Structure 1
Amino acid sequence: MFDAARDGSSELLLQAVDAGLPANLTNDKGNTLLMLAAYSGHADLTRELIARKADPNRLNDAGQSPIAGAVFKGEEAVVRVLAEGGADPRLGKPNAIQTARMFGKAELLEVLGAKEGEGMDVPPPVGPPA
């Protein structure tokens, strides 16, 4: 199922969730199905997982959030879906706002609701979800 999330195999994954697979299932690194779908750029799948109660604010074992991962990858559509779905851009290390500043994604700061100068205290990156 984790590969299905990464690959965007929506039909397979959503059928499994609808049949009882936990929407917040995590792998050995604490990455949820939502984290993997978001990081891989699958906006529609991300939206459908949130609709099925996947937590957009669940951090992985490295303290990363789905929305920060989407910012890192430059997946604007996914960032918007996550923001609309209740993802907090201030959660995680680094958080989504810090990530946008760190990687020069200024166009995403407004989507994230960043205030002037917010996120300038950027911690060192931890690495991408696996």
Structure 2
Amino acid sequence: MSFKKETPLANAVFWAARKGNLALLQLLLNSGRVDADCRDGLGSTALMVASYSGHYDCVKEVIMQGADINYQRETGSTALFFASQQGHHDIVKLLLEFGASTDLQTKDGGTALTVASQHGHSRVVDALLRNGANVHDRLNDGATSLFLAAQEGHLSVIRQLLSSGARVNQAREDGTAPLWMAAQMGHGEAVKVLLLRGADRDANRQDGSTAIFKAALKGHTSVVEELLKFSPSLGLLKNGSTPLHAAVMSGNVRTVLLLLGANADPSLPNKNNELPSQLTKNDRILKVLHPDISN
């Protein structure tokens, strides 16, 4: 957050809001020489600064002095957005009580709910949802609050959003679903929750990869174990490869063994007519792929 100020008095107001100096803030605002909505070069207000910094009394004071609670800075962010981002639950509740809108968006499409979900602030998410926040809010790239929570592995928030009607298979514009993203990031428990709530185990994104392919490529053994409980496709995928090829390329012997144990076919070539064994020089992996062949 920028703190570039326009006047010395505005500078003092912003400093007081940032530091939580209520007495100085009251003195300045009561002087009548500076407006409660004084702004810096990017349009940040004292209310935004106090909300971001977590100073409840200062937030309340600026509101009572008549600050525009829904004012948006150049990026589109509001005081509620900043309080939600930082997880200041008491300030979020206060702002909502005074009419803060949950619908206002930043330039990239972000809302208070998307940013609270991304940072895993479950109490804030609950407060926003109870006050009309749209669980289907999406960033400009199509990422939903559920997608962002899955990306970071925030289990409580994932459960909250799903219980509030979030679409478990709602993909980003590039076709990336919450399950695929959680799998890529190695969040095994998040993958489990999403699968139990109906996530499509074989959903592929635009590059043709699926969740188990990406998990195998990253060597996320716990994720592969969870996905295998739901019998995902282990054959040739739309990207022209198989999860076993991905596991071999990762160099993770445990992942290779898990896939073989689930009947992945080591004799199935990829689109380049390469067998999994042709993608590695790792003797341990070669041995488990072809135990009958001496290395």
- Normalising by the smaller structure, the TM-score range is 0.7 to 0.9
The alignment partner of 2:63 has SS state of: helix
Distance in 2 (alpha carbons) for counterparts of 1:78 and 1:85: 11
Give the counterpart of 1:117 among 121, 135, 142: 135
Q: Superposition RMSD on alpha carbons, in Å?
A: 1.7
Aligned residues: 123
Q: TM-score, normalised by structure 1?
A: 0.85
The alignment partner of 2:73 has SS state of: coil
- Per-residue CA deviations over 1:14-44 (Å, capped at 9, x if unaligned) read 1111111100000111100110011000111
Cα offset, 1:49, TM superposition: 0.8
Structure-2 change in CA distance of 1:30 and 1:3 (3 Å): same
Give the counterpart of 2:26 among 14, 17, 30: 14
Distance in 2 (alpha carbons) for counterparts of 1:71 and 1:39: 8
Cα offset, 1:12, TM superposition: 0.7
Distance in 2 (alpha carbons) for counterparts of 1:40 and 1:63: 18
Task: Give the aligned partner of residue 3 of structure 1.
Answer: 15
Task: Give the aligned partner of residue 111 of structure 2.
Answer: 95
Cα offset, 1:87, TM superposition: 0.8
Does the 8 Å contact 1:102/1:122 carry over to 2? no
Distance in 2 (alpha carbons) for counterparts of 1:72 and 1:106: 11
Larger Rg: 2
Distance in 1 (alpha carbons) for counterparts of 2:35 and 2:61: 14
Describe how 1:32-43 pairs up with structure 2 within 5 A: 32-43=45-56
Give unmatched runs, 5+ long, in structure 1: 125-130
Structure-2 change in CA distance of 1:30 and 1:101 (3 Å): same
Structure-2 change in CA distance of 1:123 and 1:77 (3 Å): farther
Q: TM-score, normalised by structure 2?
A: 0.39
Cα offset, 1:109, TM superposition: 2.4
**Once structures 1 and 2 are overlaid, which stretch shifts more, 18-27 or 85-94?**
85-94
Give unmatched runs, 5+ long, in structure 2: 1-12, 142-295
Structure-2 change in CA distance of 1:27 and 1:116 (3 Å): closer
Does the 8 Å contact 1:65/1:95 carry over to 2? no
Distance in 2 (alpha carbons) for counterparts of 1:116 and 1:82: 17
Q: Tell me: higher relative CO, structure 1 or 2? Use CA pairs within 8 A at least 6 residues apart.
A: 1
Give the counterpart of 1:58 among 71, 81, 87: 71
Does the 8 Å contact 1:90/1:97 carry over to 2? no
Residue 72, structure 1, aligned to residue 85, structure 2: yes
Does the 8 Å contact 1:71/1:96 carry over to 2? yes
